[in-house]
Amino acid sequence: MPPKTANPSARQTELLEAAYQYALAHGLTDLSLRPLAEAVGSSTRVLMFLFGNKDGLLRALLERARTDELALLVRFRQSERPAGLAPAAGQVWTWLAADEHRPLLRLWAEAYTRSLVEPDGPWAGFARATVDDWLDVLAHCQPQPERDGADGAARRTLTLAVLRGALLDLLATDDEPRVTAAVQRHLGFLGQ
């Protein structure tokens, strides 16, 4: 794979964005370069030149997906004082449950799962990095005394587990009212 540059060419950026939109619609599991190249107005040769190989393209697509995920996380980190774990998790759930985020979240679920079953491929480290990212954001939302204690770590870990499980349930069923009610129930317990 060619070395990752800080300043990719305009064509590489354009093709990556088009490939990302394709991946949001079609997923990554059965990604084939020929149909992808045709859909994005390129050739397999150009994609191979720009991204090195299929694994290089997959890594670039996963990085692009993380850019969208991290944009949400940055908003939570920018608050001047902690919102508290329950209100922050409620805000996260509102974002996760929004219909317009389903393609990104399906892609996330696919990449997360592949990272677990193919730990050495282009998916390597993806699941662990997302867990660490989300735990960091939830910690930032906790008041300092709660954040630093073992109970605070357990509370944010449980909250992340509930959010992740609820998200998978939502993606599987599209039953947003039922899943949201369950998340709200957990947040009520969390606030006690």
Structure confidence at residue 140 as a pLDDT band (50, 70, 90) = confident
Structure confidence at residue 121 as a pLDDT band (50, 70, 90) = confident
Supply the pLDDT for residue 8: 78
Chain centre to alpha carbon of residue 147: 23
Structurally, the chain folds into a number of domains equal to 1
Do the domain assignments include residue 39? no
Structure confidence at residue 123 as a pLDDT band (50, 70, 90) = confident
Do the domain assignments include residue 48? no
Query: Does residue 166 carry a pLDDT above 80?
Result: yes
Q: Supply the range of the domain harboring residue 128.
A: 61-190
- Over residues 42-83, the pLDDT tens digits come to 999 999 999 999 889 988 998 888 888 777 777 766 665 567
Do the domain assignments include residue 34? no
Do the domain assignments include residue 127? yes
Do the domain assignments include residue 40? no
